[in-house]
Structure 1
């Protein structure tokens, strides 16, 4: 990879089959990229993007929920913290 062509893929991101991510692109935490999409520009956290070039078609959650998920950053938790909260995750109504 050439210097300056860094790709950053956030936590809890789902990439569909055959996705292409170009250089100098960041895909935010929790984003979903549809199959065969070509990502040529940054994708915000918790966005759903599809197509060639990929474009955001909607967000997985409302703004308040997105901010809450970014603030708790559960992907940085250690095993014990996740274990203690697992029942809460199972009970989340918006998933």
Structure 2
């Protein structure tokens, strides 16, 4: 499912539960970004239009879309590595505290 798109020279995003509702990218806030990050982390079906400078005529949308696209693309491409790293970090901590409780 597509969550970021470029249409009419502007960037748009949508969240779960708002399949038909697209919001202009200049309205995004940190909670929206966190929700999109959770969606991207929990599904293999997170899609977004590729960033193309020429398609985004609105300067604010261009900057926002470019930054989000680059970061999310990196996250999606390295999702397995990120999850392994997090699991490894917490695994060591859990083992440490289990030993202390015994």
The answer to whether the superposition gives a TM-score over 0.5 is no
* TM-score (structure 1 length as normaliser): 0.26
Q: Which has the higher helix share?
A: 2
* TM-score (structure 2 length as normaliser): 0.25
Does 1 or 2 have the higher relative contact order (CA < 8 Å, sep 6+)? 2
- Greater Rg, structure 1 or structure 2? 2
Q: Which has the higher strand share?
A: 1
